[in-house]
Amino acid sequence: MQNKKVIALLTTTVLSATLLAACGSNNDANSGDAANTTNDKSTNATNTGSTSNTGNSTDTGDSTDTGNTATNEPAKPDKTITFSTITNYYTAGLQTAADDYHKLHPETTVNIDIVSDNTTYQTSFQAKMAAGGDDAPDIVHANLLGDSPANNVKKGFLLKLDDLVKKPNPYNNGTSLWDGINADYWPYAYTADGNIFMLPFDLVGTGFFFNKDLFAKAGIADAPATWEDLFADLQKLKDSGVIPLAMSQATGSDYEGWMVSAFLDWSTRQYVPETLVQAGDARNTPQVEAINAKVKYDVNNPFFDIGAVADTERQLALWKSGKYDAQGPAEQKTWSTLKELSKFLQPGYATMKDGDAYQLFIAGKAAAYWNGSWQVGQILKDQKSLGDKAFQWGTFKFPDFATPDPNFPGHPRGILVPGHQLSVTNKKDKDTVERSEDFLQFLYSPGEAQKVFTDTINAGQFVQGPSLVKGVTLSDEVNSYLEGFKVAGNMTAIALLTGGNPSAEPNATAEMKSLELQYYNDKLSLADYLKKRADLTKKTNEQYIKDNKLDLDPKTNP
């Protein structure tokens, strides 16, 4: 049976700890999700403490009509609920919402508790809930909690929100959360057991930022759409005397991992249906079967597997079968392409943290920068501070190949998933739960959500991408930048096929990276690199199978 730590297995090795703190998990077992990403951004504000809303903040001056009215209920005694978030994760906008809510409900103070980093966030939550939950926050980011959503619900750490989402929302003219949030992304809100565990607030994606002024100086008029065009442009930029591309590959911010996963998804997504929990499997439930029975691979439908529930044992069985050749043409092209890209990276890319890579871009020393949609707010803020040194910039997607390749059918999907996933802590105190749910209804009203986005962008903080709250609009300028992150579907990289199982070997991720860098620096041939990579994958997968006593028959348990 799936181990409780299976979420670690299903996150591709190359993603390491980098995949979005921001990003969402898909039904506990979709390995293409950016489920537990790190916010390693030294360019962000340095508030590592915690702030509280005392209810005395001044009005923001935003005259937007939120449509919010206090309900005619008996007065409740004064109480504080705590919304726990990470430094710069909509903190300015959330404080606005907390203040606005307090004006409507003076008896309730919303404390916006700001935690410095992801590790502290998940460690603190798990410890506090294991101790009874009295000191745990009331509203949390479900994708930062250190375990799968299903396990956190089963342990009693998270509340099931099935009833809440269908209730009329008094702050949105009675429109329920279910009808007030973009319907395309509700499938991501279910656990493998069929329970709604979170409310999706926004989307998050990855792509390239580029300096239009430096591109123009190098004679490049348009953003590249293919890998061939990208390499030609990067060469022109290099010849012009600037760093063509800034991207970190250091431990903790190895953002190349998203590219590796995008290539793997592109070449293996036809195998996704056979890696899912199926009828007759020991792990099957009616809820899972209802989701997975609809999944049919279609090269022309990038959304074919949205919400699907994968099975680790089936993934390992696929790896064991050898159907996908980890040393074959697709892997050869993937790594040849990435090696070519490495020639255009900044000096020291193997150890340079993302914050330093970002500084090269914002200072105009690097012409392009690979990262995520959450950087839009930061760049907008930094551009204002640059004054007459500001530059024109834009974004573009993970490229296609100029000539279609049968080993990479269709088009690349990249990452595009719900980013902020908000949940309610399952507490014994019914009153606290009710106030927390009411605040979330308030937060997800179009007018208030609009203010959250606007105030956060104005503060240069963590806006991950387009809003999923219906009625929220962003400026044409912001939308133009976010366009570069909008891909069809979301990648489901079956990491066990080529990346192995790092939970079976603590040094596996570092060893994989060492092999990769040896290949990039011509110390290993492509053939030798792929063989050593496949050998390490075999070692870690077999160790995991042994440790968990798996027979690779999904109809048995384990």
Quick: pLDDT tens for 398-452. 999 999 999 999 999 988 888 899 999 998 899 999 999 999 999 999 999 999 9
User: Residue 543 pLDDT > 80, yes or no?
Assistant: yes
Max alpha carbon distance in the chain (Å)? 74
User: pLDDT class for 151, splitting at 50, 70, 90?
Assistant: confident
Calculate mean pLDDT across residues 241-252: 93
Q: Report how far Cα 305 is from the mean position of its chain's Cα atoms.
A: 17
Specify the residue for token string 């590790």.
119
Percent of the chain that is helix, strand, coil (3-state, to 5): 40, 15, 45
Residue 342 to residue 349: CA distance in whole angstroms:
9
On whether the pTM is more than 0.75, the answer is yes
| 486-509 residue pLDDT tens | 888 889 999 999 999 988 888 899
Closest among 12, 128, 13, 39 to 420, alpha carbons compared: 39
Length of the chain: 558
DSSP string, 51-112: ----S-PPP--------------PPPPPEEEEEEEETTSSHHHHHHHHHHHHHH-TTEEEEE
Per the CB < 8 A criterion, the answer to whether 15 and 257 are in contact is: yes
User: Residue 335 pLDDT > 50, yes or no?
Assistant: yes
pLDDT at 73: 59
Average pLDDT score over the chain: 86
User: pLDDT class for 314, splitting at 50, 70, 90?
Assistant: very high
Parallel, antiparallel, or unpaired for β 79-86 and 108-115? parallel
User: Residue 85 pLDDT > 90, yes or no?
Assistant: yes
The CA angle 52-58-60, to the nearest 5 degrees, is 105
Cα distances from 206 to residues 103, 190, 308, 369, 440, in angstroms, run 38, 23, 21, 11, 27
Per the CB < 8 A criterion, the answer to whether 414 and 262 are in contact is: yes
Per the CB < 8 A criterion, the answer to whether 500 and 540 are in contact is: yes
User: pLDDT class for 253, splitting at 50, 70, 90?
Assistant: confident
pLDDT at 180: 98
CA atoms in the 13 A half-sphere facing the CB of 206: 29
The encoded tokens of residue 448 equal 């208030």
Range with the lowest mean pLDDT among 13-22, 141-150, 339-348? 13-22
pLDDT at 34: 35
Per the CB < 8 A criterion, the answer to whether 86 and 440 are in contact is: no
